[in-house]
Structure 1
Amino acid sequence: MSDPLAEIVTLLQPKAPFSKLVRSSGAWRVRRTGVEQVYYCLILTGQACLEVNGKASVILNEGDFALIPAAYSFAMSSVNPKPPEGFEILPVKEADGIYRLGNPDSPVDTQQLIGFCVFGSPDASLLVSLLPDVIVSRGENRVGTLVKLVADEARADRPARDVLLQRLLEALLIETLRSAPETLASPGLLKGLVDDRLNIALRCMHAKPDRNWTIAELAKQAGLSRSAFFVRFNKAVGIAPMDYLLQWRMTLAKQMLRQTKCGVAEVAAHVGYGSASAFSVAFSRHTGCPPAQYGRQTDRIETNAPIKPAQQLNLDEI
């Protein structure tokens, strides 16, 4: 049976992480807006307060790890003392490469390993929409070990660095997502996966996207009535079952069109359409262009896209 969480993390294609060690003392607050990267933070010592997209703040303690898959804005601040309203500063890089917040002559209250990565998938926004706004894993040694391995590898220039980093990031994402029970408070894929009944239906859709699934068949797999299944799925995952199936099929179709030389008819059959024409209509409605044109556009973008060197990225802006 297919594993939806593993498939989605793999499809996200996490890449190119950067990290830095930040030491802080006294009152401080750092705010970021227009964030395009995936932000993460591991509290090594002390405490910090995290606020994401204007929602209720979260206190992070020593050993806690926070991951923000897509933040429009977020702020990190000291807990004790609490910074005054409107007070904000920027980290300062010291001679040893470590960043400092607050008075450099004062004793260090908090140490954080922070950084970001990017999702390489063009469908990242769709996949991220199925994840919580912020994911907090508390005191998990396995998560902390993976974070440190990612940071160590990101700073080095070893053979096969990018390949190893992607695998480490995939492992980190999976471990974080499955060890963070607080994320189940909001609708999303994780909430659906921990529901014994819905888990079966989700695995069925992922394992056989080519099957002509109906609400009745999925409900039968889940051992529920049609109405109970529909309400339960919609409440847990946040979208209707057939909408989820459509989005998953289109995600798989776009991946095949980007990464393989499959014809439209072959892609159509793989994602559950009886004819190339029916698939083309659905794909065009979903993406705004026909599948053949999408494949050609993707080839041009990947061929001509410039690569931004790591040295050009300003780590002070994390």
Structure 2
Amino acid sequence: MTDPLAEVVTLLQPAARFSKHVVGAGRWRIRRSDAGQPFYCAVLEGGCRLALDGHEPIELQAGDFVLVPAAFGVTMSSLEPPAGAVTLDSMPVALGEGLFRIGAPQGPTDLRILAGHCSFGSPDAALLVSLLPQFVHVRGEQRLATLVQFVREESHAQRPAREVVLARLLEVLLIEALRSASGTAASPGLARGLADVRLAAAIRAMHAQPTRAWTVVELAKEAALSRSSFFERFSREVGLAPMAYLLAWRMALAKDLLRRNEGGVAEIAERVGYSSASTFSVAFTRHVGLRPTQYAREQSDAAQAGV
């Protein structure tokens, strides 16, 4: 059976950047600006407050896991607000071996978290991330904290095949987080669409047969919904209209095929559901900003230059 989540995460090519074990005490606040970098955090003990630009602050507790596929402004703070009307951001203190302390420098700690950033190797990361929720908050899934611990341990060890193991662990971590998003505070995206049994049928059909000349009416039939109910429900849960989602997925497939030199433009056009090379070229150029041949040439040049 086609697995849309696995397909998207595999195309993203996740890689570990860094992972930190953080303990906190007293009152503190940390703010980071991460230009679109994927961020994850697992709370092992205690609690803290997390605020993302454009979202209401949320309170995290032990057992919570947060995934943000493209983080920009991130503020984390103690549950008790820092003292004073004007507060200065705290600076984490490195204690060695990937362990950091925030807040009061002495005394018992009241928070323990694992946090990290990964990167997406795909040149199409922005397009693929647009198919995912902007924000996933999962409560009480011990498997996620365990996976984060594995990522942390592997990232700090210098064992053979380290990068391969990390890439696989991150793929599993991202898929586990996204499929755990059913019924949680996930924002609109692929995970929420797949959590809806009716919409999942239509999404899997698009991924299984991207070459088919789908219409909203046909996709609504796959979902066993009326056209209007399907369109409204899909747009609300996935965050894109059905045909916009299909276009984004076709373009992601096309870019992957062009990058890997998997045939000429006419062949790739057919493999992603276009009846002619010219129709495909027009759609690709409008969506990507480059003609397919230009895109393939740029990707080839970048690969040869080791970019």
State the one-letter code of the partner of 2:280: F
1:1-318 map, 5 Å: 1-80=1-80, 82-85=82-85, 86-95=87-96, 97-181=98-182, 183=184, 186-306=187-307
User: Could you tell me how far apart the structure 1 residues matched to 2:299 and 2:247 are?
Assistant: 21
Residues 265-309 of structure 1 show CA distances to partners (whole Å, capped at 9, x for unaligned) of: 111111011121221121111111111110110111233245xxx
Relative to 1, partners in 2 of residues 1:209 and 1:83: Cα closer, same or farther, differing over 3 Å?
farther
State the SS of the aligned residue for 1:289: coil
User: Could you tell me how far apart the structure 1 residues matched to 2:245 and 2:291 are?
Assistant: 21
Relative to 1, partners in 2 of residues 1:62 and 1:29: Cα closer, same or farther, differing over 3 Å?
same
User: Could you tell me how far apart the structure 1 residues matched to 2:78 and 2:201 are?
Assistant: 43
Relative to 1, partners in 2 of residues 1:42 and 1:162: Cα closer, same or farther, differing over 3 Å?
same
Higher strand share: 2
How much has 1:88 moved relative to structure 2?
0.9
User: Could you tell me how far apart the structure 2 residues matched to 1:286 and 1:187 are?
Assistant: 22
Identity %: 54
How much has 1:54 moved relative to structure 2?
4.3
Which ranges in structure 2 are unaligned for 5 or more consecutive residues?
none
User: Could you tell me how far apart the structure 2 residues matched to 1:185 and 1:154 are?
Assistant: 27
State the SS of the aligned residue for 2:278: helix
State the one-letter code of the partner of 1:109: D
Which ranges in structure 1 are unaligned for 5 or more consecutive residues?
307-318
User: Could you tell me how far apart the structure 1 residues matched to 2:228 and 2:104 are?
Assistant: 60
User: Could you tell me how far apart the structure 1 residues matched to 2:196 and 2:98 are?
Assistant: 46
User: Could you tell me how far apart the structure 1 residues matched to 2:72 and 2:93 are?
Assistant: 24
State the SS of the aligned residue for 1:21: strand
How much has 1:230 moved relative to structure 2?
1.9
State the one-letter code of the partner of 2:273: G
Match of 1:314? none
User: Could you tell me how far apart the structure 1 residues matched to 2:283 and 2:303 are?
Assistant: 24
Q: How many residue pairs end up in the alignment?
A: 306
How much has 1:137 moved relative to structure 2?
1.8
TM-score by length of 2: 0.93
Residues 213-255 of structure 1 show CA distances to partners (whole Å, capped at 9, x for unaligned) of: 1122212222222222222222222221111111110110000
Contact 1:184–1:190 under 8 Å retained in 2: no
User: Could you tell me how far apart the structure 1 residues matched to 2:96 and 2:16 are?
Assistant: 25
Match of 1:311? none
TM-score by length of 1: 0.90
User: Could you tell me how far apart the structure 1 residues matched to 2:162 and 2:97 are?
Assistant: 24
Relative to 1, partners in 2 of residues 1:244 and 1:45: Cα closer, same or farther, differing over 3 Å?
same
User: Could you tell me how far apart the structure 2 residues matched to 1:135 and 1:83 are?
Assistant: 30
Contact 1:273–1:279 under 8 Å retained in 2: yes
Contact 1:184–1:191 under 8 Å retained in 2: no
User: Could you tell me how far apart the structure 2 residues matched to 1:100 and 1:151 are?
Assistant: 16
Contact 1:23–1:100 under 8 Å retained in 2: yes
Relative to 1, partners in 2 of residues 1:236 and 1:105: Cα closer, same or farther, differing over 3 Å?
closer
Contact 1:132–1:183 under 8 Å retained in 2: no
How much has 1:160 moved relative to structure 2?
1.4
